[in-house]
Structures are given as C-alpha cells and as structure tokens.
Structure 1
Amino acid sequence: MADRTAVLLLAHGTPDSVEEVPEYLRNVTGGRPLPEAVIEEVRHRMQAIGKSPLTRLTLEQGRLLAERLNVPVYVGMRNWRPYIADVVAQMAEERMTSVVVICLAPQNSRTSVGLYKRAVLQAAGSRMKIHFVEGWANHPQLIEAFAERLAPVWRKLSDQLKTRVPVVFTAHSVPCRTIQHSPEQPPDPYAVEAKLTARLVAESLAELCPWYFAFQSQGMSGGPWLGPTVEETLLALQQEGHRAAIIQPIGFLCDHVEVLYDIDIAFREHAKTLGMHLERPPSLNDSPLLISALADIARQGLARLASL
C-alpha cells in the first residue's frame, strides 16, 4: 500500500505576482466581480511585503512531512496554483488510491474547510478513498508549537516593560452570514474552535495573563463580519493603560499577507497611533512541533484508511 497511499495538504493559495491579483481574486469570489479599489488595495498589500511566501512555505511543510512519514505528500491550493483539482489528477495518474487530506486551517468552518472538502471530493470522485480531517484545533502538538513561539517573546517584552504584556490571539474573520445557524444546518464551529485554540495556548503558559481574542482581516465586501476587530481590541487595551501588546495569529500556520501585511504593517501602524508598541511571535512555518502534529494526524488517518 505504501506506493498507493498519500497525504494531501490543502491551503488557500496566493498569486505569484501583483499582475495575477485580478485572476486570483476572481477565484476567491467564485467569479463575482470586485470594485477596482479592492483589487488595487490587494495589489498594494502584496507590493508592501514583496511576495507572499505562502506557497513556498506550504511546499516546505509538505516536504518535511513526507520525510517524517515516508509516504508521498502532495500540496494543493484552492485559489491558485497548484490547484486542488490538478493535484488530485496528478495523484490519480500516479496511482494513489487512498489519501488522507489535511486542511492547513486547524479550525473547522463551512466557509474554509467545508469548501476545501467539497473541492477534493469533487475532483477525486470514485478514483480514490478519501479520509478528510475536519479539524484539529486542539491537537496537543499544535498548541505546544504556538506556545513555543509565544513564550520567549512574551517573557522578553514583559521583562523589558516590567509588566505582564497582554496577548491578543487572532484568527481570520468570516462574514457573519456564512456561519449563521438555520434549521437546515448545524451551528458552524469556527468561532468556538478558534477561541478553543487560543485558550489552550494561554493555559499552557501558566504565567500568561491577561489574554484576549480578536478576529482579523475582515473583508472589504459588504455586510457584517465576525468581531471584535483587532483595532477595537487594541483601542480598549490602550484605554486600560497598556503601552504594549503581542498579537499571535492562531488560525495561520505560516507567513503570508494576512500576517506580513495585516499584522506587521497595518496593525503595528495602528498601535503606533495609539502610543502602543506591538510585537508578534514568529509564525510556525517549519516548526518541528507543527510537523509532528501533522504527522500524528496523518498516521491516524492512514490507519483508518487501511481498516476500510
């Protein structure tokens, strides 16, 4: 079975250049047109960070996981190359018959994980057995990986300022309409799972207090998005007398525009206008603990596939 069993990692995807932003955004919206101002703003953010490393880092995570598992690991993107459908086709050509699929968004949601799952199942059809991991927001090694990144940054800044610096955990916001409960659908678990990850990271560092949670990167489309926002949270902290804060995104597993621009540039500038200092722990990226978490999840999935 070894040469016919594989793991597929899924991520959002990112364009390779600012010229590709319009096509990328059409993929994100399913073809719905966006105002030119929105397209220009996304171009601006990409130019400000140079180039999003998301694809490179995700491929590296896949390589490290393949070394750990000694089985093929593929990487597919929902909104850019390598597209999920193309990667699934490649897996079929290479005679993979059983695949564990892990979305690199640990917190389950209909608007993210649900769309990834639909894309994989549609592309695979009956050509291979699929075990899709719905969510892994509370995996012990994921929690440990975040805590490992956070602890030295928090301790250093707290020592420098001689106070317990507040930590704001964040996850990507989603439109409120996409998680609204209805008789036909169970409640969307996203907000609960995002806050669960934050709480477990905070609890793993006994001295960490106070901590808060905010949703970041609200979209530029109309309608309400999940909050509170980071901007609102920083203002509240400033009004309580805090002079510094640390933001740790627990919904992202590697650097990309929502980290390198939204946090490192936009939120840092916002904090500066409030007279606050803002820091961020390094992203997980190639964290051995993250790879261990993925390997454990993959092995459990492979065992289930083998029993079918």
Structure 2
Amino acid sequence: MTDTFSPVATDNDDARTASVPQQPAEGELRPYTAILLASFGGPEGQDHVIPFLRNVTRGKGIPDERLEEVATHYRANDGVSPINQQNRDLIAALETELAGREIDLPIYWGNRNWDPYFADAFKQLAADGHQDVLVLVTSAYAGYSSNDQYLEDFERTLAETGLKGQLNLVKVRQFFYDKAFTRPNEEFLAAGVQDVRSQLAGAGRPDGKIKVLFVTHSIPTAVAQRQGPARIKELFGTDVYTAQHQAIADYLMGAVAEAEGIDYQVVFQSRSGSPETPWLEPDINDQIEEDAAAGYAGVVVMPFGFISDHMEVIWDLDTEAKETAQEQGLAFHRAPTVGTHPEFISGLVDIMGEYIAGEGGQPLASGEQTVPGDWSDLTTEGGWDTPL
C-alpha cells in the first residue's frame, strides 16, 4: 500500500480537489518599476560564519561557543554558503527571461541575514527612483519564515530606513502548486526512480523495493499547529504546512509514470533548538533506517522543500542522509532542486506577470496551477498574514 496521507472523505472533498490559486489582492496589479529578490543570505568566508549565525539567532541569547558547534557545516565548505551564488545565478536567469519578453524591470537583491541586507536594497531602490516594487521570495511554500517573517522584516526595515510611504512593496504569491515548481520536479522524480532502479539492477537486485522520500525543512510542531486557514486543516486532516507539501507529493506521484506503484512519504530535516521542543517528524535519517528494516532496497530523496542546493541540502542530505542510506545498504539518489531550471525561470516570470499591469491594465502573464486544492487564502487573514 502506498505510504501517503489519506484524509477522511467528507462533503468538502470537492474543495480539496478544486483548483483555486491565490490572486493579486485589490491594488496589487499595477505597473511596477522594479523587482526585489528577497532571500535568507549566507556567509561567504570563514570570518563571516559566526557573525552570520549571530544574525540568524538574533534575540535568542545563544553564546558564540554554541554557534561554533553549529558552524561545522559552513567550516567544512570554507565558510561559504552556496546560497548567495545561487541567488546571483537565479537573478541572471530571470534577467535573461525578462529581456527575452521585453519586460524592462531591473532586479535588486536583499537578504534577511547577510549582505546585501534589505536596508541596503531598499535605500538603493529609493535612490534609483523606484516606488512600486514587486518582491519575489525564494520559498515556494507559505509558512512563518517564508512569508510572515519577510513581511515583518520589510515593515521594520521600511521604518528604520525612513522609507515607509516611499516604497510600496508587494510580495508575489506562493508557487508550490504552480507549473513553475512542479514541472522540473516531475522531471527530477522520473530520473531519480530510473537511477535507483539502475543501481539496484547493477547490484543484482532488480526487483528491490523503492521508496520516494519527499523532504522539507522541519518546523516546531506548535508553530505548524498555529498556521491557518482552519479550512485547510479540516480538509487535509493535518497542519497547513504539512498539507502543502503532501498535496504536491501526491500530485507528483500521480503525474510521473515512472513512479507508479512506488511507496512515498513526506519527511523532514534540519530540526534545531532544544531537544525537548517537539518538531515535525519523522526525520529523514530515522525514516531511512525504518525503511531499511522494512525491506526497502533503495530511496529517492526529493528535496522539494527548497528551491536551491544550499547548505542544508548539501550537508543534511548529500552528507548525512546519504551516509545513513549507505550504512543501511540502500541505493540512494538525491534529486536536484529547481535552481535555474528553464521551466522554473519561465514559470516564475509568468507568476510575476500576474501582478504586472500591461496595456489596458491587464496582467502581462499568468501562472498555471497544477497541484489541486483551494490555496486562495494561504496568506490572507486567517492564513499566515495579510499582504503589505
């Protein structure tokens, strides 16, 4: 039996299988003059690591000695997080796509935790004469750190820089359910299944059982349980953060012929903080061990919680999860993240086009919902937050 989420049937099942995307709120369709790529940031040298981690843990009172314990991942990579270069590559790819469509919008870049900071980006936007700015955040899902925290960052930074009322920021919707995100992941899933089958055939185990592990960042259980809207909890029978991931996992397994009949599961990685604080489970390493004991011969790891191969992907999956699989004698394949995949880039510009008014005030483009569900109020009142 496929290891997947299966909600209890209700009279509201049509709402779970309907296709209702988020739409720009009133006033958000306008002729923008610039785009801001908003991201997490990361160190780019050994001297940056501890100051960066101080920024990440700001207000939590964590001493440098403890921060050094978690700096191991960055130290092993010469103190460099891949995320900044990946964002540069993403910006370059988006600029090329925009130019190809003759959309004349410059892209600026700001980070929450490292240079270039939001304050510097906002000041530069204002100095260059921009007022209406479309913001693309480097996260596909709705959650506190991927939506609310950015909105809080923007409000605080506008106040601190004295630019409130001068810069009008509109954040682009979530895109986990859009073709921009699903099409590349369909390709990655098919290739991953084929690779694990090839590994098993080469090892003399052509009939070995395969499992797909869809992995995302864990969050504290209490935080997940607070997320609305309540109707999604009722429809899916789980917290909204998990429901978003389960919905796309279900879609991908149904859309990829190579994955037919294969078991799959949403799992989590990168928990932190006090071990007494419950976080969403199971952890991917624990699940790999359980799967090996249950007779699986190989795993396809889909890091669909992320859009690029940043440090947590490289360390938690390419190092720790891979080692766990090897210790258990399992074939292992870690799929890519969407990165600068051409369909991802083209799809992101389509989504941004929903907000950009062209001739006659009509949107320049439109995304395409592929994952079923009514996701229209994920970030409206009753969801994580309300738009700026």
Q: What TM-score do the two structures reach when normalised by structure 1? A: 0.90
Q: Counterpart of 1:30? A: 58
Percent identical pairs in the alignment equals 28
Q: Counterpart of 2:85? A: 56
When Rg is computed on C-alpha atoms for both structures, the one with the higher figure is 2
| Counterparts in 2 of 1:86 and 1:3: CA distance versus 1, 3 Å | farther
140-149 or 155-164: bigger deviation? 155-164
The correspondence of residues 153-302 of structure 1 with structure 2, limited to 5 A, is: 153-161=192-200, 162-163=206-207, 165-181=210-226, 186=229, 189-208=240-259, 209-222=262-275, 223-302=277-356
Asked if 2 retains the 8 angstrom alpha-carbon contact of 1:113 and 1:134, the reply is: no
SS in 1 for 2:305: coil
Aligned pairs, number:
304
**Quick one: distance in 1 between partners of 2:225 and 2:31?**
43
**Quick one: distance in 2 between partners of 1:303 and 1:214?**
40
167-176 or 201-210: bigger deviation? 201-210
Q: Counterpart of 1:118? A: 152
Give the residue type in structure 2 aligned to 1:167: V
**Quick one: distance in 1 between partners of 2:111 and 2:248?**
24
Give the residue type in structure 2 aligned to 1:201: L
SS in 2 for 1:111: helix
SS in 1 for 2:296: coil
SS in 1 for 2:213: strand
User: 1:289 Cα shift?
Assistant: 1.2
Give the residue type in structure 1 aligned to 2:243: V
Q: What TM-score do the two structures reach when normalised by structure 2? A: 0.72
User: 1:13 Cα shift?
Assistant: 1.0
User: 1:46 Cα shift?
Assistant: 1.2
Asked if 1 retains the 8 angstrom alpha-carbon contact of 2:289 and 2:324, the reply is: no
Q: Counterpart of 2:72? A: 44
Match for residue 75 of structure 1 among 102, 109, 117: 109
Match for residue 170 of structure 2 among 126, 131, 142: 131
**Quick one: distance in 1 between partners of 2:250 and 2:56?**
30
200-209 or 56-65: bigger deviation? 200-209
| Counterparts in 2 of 1:135 and 1:189: CA distance versus 1, 3 Å | farther
Give the residue type in structure 2 aligned to 1:217: S
Asked if 2 retains the 8 angstrom alpha-carbon contact of 1:214 and 1:229, the reply is: yes
Asked if 2 retains the 8 angstrom alpha-carbon contact of 1:88 and 1:120, the reply is: no
Asked if 2 retains the 8 angstrom alpha-carbon contact of 1:169 and 1:214, the reply is: yes
CA RMSD of aligned residues (A): 2.4
Asked if 2 retains the 8 angstrom alpha-carbon contact of 1:6 and 1:99, the reply is: yes
Give the residue type in structure 1 aligned to 2:222: R
Give the residue type in structure 1 aligned to 2:127: E
**Is 2:58 aligned against 1:6?**
no
Asked if 2 retains the 8 angstrom alpha-carbon contact of 1:3 and 1:96, the reply is: no
| Counterparts in 2 of 1:123 and 1:34: CA distance versus 1, 3 Å | closer
Asked if 1 retains the 8 angstrom alpha-carbon contact of 2:196 and 2:299, the reply is: no
Q: Which has the higher contact order (CA 8 A, sep 6+)?
A: 2
User: 1:228 Cα shift?
Assistant: 1.3
**Is 2:135 aligned against 1:107?**
no
User: 1:153 Cα shift?
Assistant: 2.6
**Quick one: distance in 2 between partners of 1:37 and 1:277?**
37
**Quick one: distance in 1 between partners of 2:356 and 2:31?**
13
SS in 2 for 1:41: helix
Q: Which runs of 5+ in 1 are unaligned?
A: none
1:39-79: CA deviation from partner (whole Å, max 9, x where unpaired): 22332111223432110111211121122124111221111
Give the residue type in structure 2 aligned to 1:291: I
Give the residue type in structure 1 aligned to 2:152: R
User: 1:4 Cα shift?
Assistant: 6.0
SS in 1 for 2:214: strand
Higher helix share: 1
User: 1:30 Cα shift?
Assistant: 2.2
Give the residue type in structure 2 aligned to 1:198: A
Q: Counterpart of 2:122? A: 88
Give the residue type in structure 1 aligned to 2:177: N
123-132 or 206-215: bigger deviation? 123-132
User: 1:35 Cα shift?
Assistant: 4.9
| Counterparts in 2 of 1:144 and 1:235: CA distance versus 1, 3 Å | same
| Counterparts in 2 of 1:103 and 1:279: CA distance versus 1, 3 Å | same
